[in-house]
Structure 1
Amino acid sequence: MWAPHLEMINNRWYLYYSVDPRPGYGARRTHVLESASSDPLGPYTYRGDLDLMPGDGWAIDGAVLRLNGALYFTFSAFASDGLQSLYIAPMANPWTASAFGTRISAPTLAWERQDGAVNEGPFALQRGGRTFLTYSASHCNGPNYKLGMLEYRGGNPLAAASWSKFANPIFQRNDAASVYGPGHHSFFSSPDGTETWIAYHANGSASQGCGTTRTTRVQKISWNADGTPNLGTPVSTSTVLQGPSGEVGGPTARVRIRNEHSGLCLDDYNFATTPGAEVRQWTCNTLAVQDWYLQPTGDGYHQIFNGHSGLCLDDYNFATQPGAEVRQWTCNGLAVQQWRITPVGGGYSTLTNRHSGLCLDNYNFATQPGAEVRQWTCTGNAAQRWSLA
């Protein structure tokens, strides 16, 4: 059993998964479980397998597509020409196909045929009234397993003419980061709904294939000006990413916080370790006093604590006026220790305190080591722009 896909439909969870039966027990098929309630932990009832292809045919790697108020199932199967292709079938309910699938994409392009001609693992991505169907292409036995994309152009979703294929892959190997064969993916939203992330598997070596060496990875995607998704480049497993926006208790990210105006880094001044410790700016270095860790607290805010002191960046004494002090204090999760990080371009962000509503500021535009850090009315100028890297 493999390729699980979990989908909520009508307040119940449906788990679709592929099954390779014992010899003599039929072709690889897609099976369905249904939850008893909205709890994803179950219990579940086995609903059987989806009858997706004529003659009890081979049909795997499926996922649900909601389109034009109807429910469809997209999957991978072999056509009469022997090509492993993408199919779509209408659904009468979440565990029953109302007709056999029809082919909407075949591996006809050169980049879809490396190490084997394959289209599989379809997954829908919808935004701004547009529907994209992303999929895995080429064979997973080689390092060139990758992602391609179709777009629904209107009309009958069961007709291949209603879909157009993008000429180039949208996500593929990154040798410089030791990422090979990135594919069989899905997408999910950040807890606050502001970000879209991709989950996928890949190998760390070009010689690894479809086996157990593959690991699960996630990273944030973006969107191009023309409304198409930009999946970017798969990053190394050693790269520390800031967790999804709005995530509570997610992974921490270690950063240096450098001011655009002064060029200096936020520093645990004089290596202090007691509550009330000063925060100033200093010449950027590699010491732990300039290591800051971002911990999501929810609603797009972060707790920021120092690697040397273990204390959190704090709106000192709950001040709300411009010029309010910033110090370090025992981490407590209060609003005075929650900061919203807002990208403003050029690799810089502003840091706004949840309690005061003021921005972290290079006070009086100082440029010498030891420069003060305070809070001020948010203006977006260089003294309030910080690089977190």
Structure 2
Amino acid sequence: MQKVETLKNPIVEQRADPWVYKHTDGYYYFTASVPEYDRIEVRRSETIQGLGNAEPVVAWTKHEDGIMSANIWAPEIHFIDGKWYIYFAAARKDAIFDHRMYVIENDAQNPLEGNWVEKGQVRTAWESFSLDATTFEHKGNLYYVWAQKDPEIDGNSNLYIAKMANPWTLTGPQVMITTPEYDWEKIGFLVNEGAAVLKSNGKIFISYSASATDYNYCMGLLSADEDSDLLNPKSWKKSPEPVFQTNEENSQFGPGHNSFTVSEDGSQDILIYHARNYREIVGDPLWDPNRHTRAQVFTWNEDGSPNFGTPVPDAN
């Protein structure tokens, strides 16, 4: 069994918005944005490092036109009530940045097999730009957390939470839990996106990413007591400083859009994220393919909050 200390970055090259899920079958399942933004791939490995050499399987391909026909972004794979679900954002050929959130479902034991069925759009309070959905279970309820543009609020996206009636349908109110307010959340774009949930030490933590997708991209952190009302915005406290950001000394730029997993033996917590190894980008950062998937161990502070440290350098 591989020791987690031997992790060498990058884990998977040219895969942004990485999502790693360790299943009860012992496999790590991986999906991420591909540079072409035209399909959803899934791969698996018994080790985190092995994901880089694992054979990807195409789960779904964009439509020729209409909905889900352009810019397929940030897929996440989840296992809920015995079935696999992939949440992703997609736009249309005639409006390539007007994203909505969609879900596909697979009832096979191994999600690299079986058929992925489109369950449709996840409907929210508005028909507006929305993306980067994640789900988590807590005290018998399934929750959905996502980024969306409120037509009444300046900026690009805020984070919202709502309960789910099933893995593709929201129920009850949607509540905003963070909006870009600090300077580090508003560089280039006013963005809160890419949420990931971590439950530990009697708390629920939600990491998220902020600012433009260049070297200014960074991670923030929300926290709530596990016994609080998660649909009450006042339950959530926000770090006034970024918790993970560019480290020029280690040549790691714009780290973010993360997920969480654990080491093979379950003894260590692992942060999965993307970053580039150079600062200057020609043209729009979205079309630069070199946001590589990376992984590193993180620890915990005395107050019970996660300590992500700094992005480690790439392996020589």
Relative to the length of structure 2, the TM-score reads 0.71
The aligned amino acid for 2:262 is: S
Residue of structure 1 equivalent to 2:279: 206
- Cα distance in 2, alignment partners of residues 227 and 158 from structure 1: 22
Tell me if 1:41 matches 2:112: yes
Q: What is the DSSP-based 3-state SS (H/G/I as helix, E as strand, rest coil) of the residue aligned with 1:207?
A: coil
- Cα distance in 1, alignment partners of residues 264 and 93 from structure 2: 41
Tell me if 1:147 matches 2:219: yes
For residue 158 of structure 1, report the CA deviation from its aligned partner. Answer: 2.0
Q: Which has the higher contact order (CA 8 A, sep 6+)?
A: 2
Structure 1 residues 177 and 26: CA distance shift in structure 2, 3 A? closer
- Cα distance in 1, alignment partners of residues 270 and 154 from structure 2: 34
In the alignment of these two chains, the number of paired residues is: 237
Structure 1 residues 70 and 167: CA distance shift in structure 2, 3 A? same
For residue 88 of structure 1, report the CA deviation from its aligned partner. Answer: 1.1
The aligned amino acid for 2:147 is: S
- Cα distance in 2, alignment partners of residues 64 and 99 from structure 1: 16
For residue 24 of structure 1, report the CA deviation from its aligned partner. Answer: 5.7
* Structure 1 unaligned spans of 5+: 240-389
Residue of structure 1 equivalent to 2:134: 63
Q: What is the DSSP-based 3-state SS (H/G/I as helix, E as strand, rest coil) of the residue aligned with 1:123?
A: strand
User: Hey, which bits of structure 1, 4+ residues long, moved more than 3 A?
Assistant: 24-27
Residue of structure 1 equivalent to 2:190: 117
- Cα distance in 2, alignment partners of residues 221 and 157 from structure 1: 25
Q: What is the DSSP-based 3-state SS (H/G/I as helix, E as strand, rest coil) of the residue aligned with 1:103?
A: strand
Aligned residues with identical type, % of pairs: 34
Residue of structure 2 equivalent to 1:73: 144
Structure 1 residues 26 and 101: CA distance shift in structure 2, 3 A? farther
Residue of structure 1 equivalent to 2:251: 178
Contact preservation (8 Å) 2:82, 2:107: no
Residue of structure 2 equivalent to 1:169: 242
Tell me if 1:22 matches 2:93: yes
The aligned amino acid for 2:223 is: E
Tell me if 1:105 matches 2:182: no
The aligned amino acid for 1:12 is: K
Structure 1 residues 32 and 99: CA distance shift in structure 2, 3 A? same
- Cα distance in 2, alignment partners of residues 99 and 48 from structure 1: 19
- Cα distance in 2, alignment partners of residues 35 and 191 from structure 1: 25
Match of 1:190 among 252, 259, 263: 263
Larger Rg: 1
Q: CA RMSD in A?
A: 1.8
* Structure 2 unaligned spans of 5+: 1-71
Please list the CA deviations of residues 232-291 of structure 1 after superposition, one character each: whole Å capped at 9, or x if unmatched.
Answer: 11011126xxxxxxxxxxxxxxxxxxxxxxxxxxxxxxxxxxxxxxxxxxxxxxxxxxxx
The aligned amino acid for 2:79 is: M
Structure 1 residues 236-255: aligned runs within 5 Å: 236-238=313-315
Relative to the length of structure 1, the TM-score reads 0.58
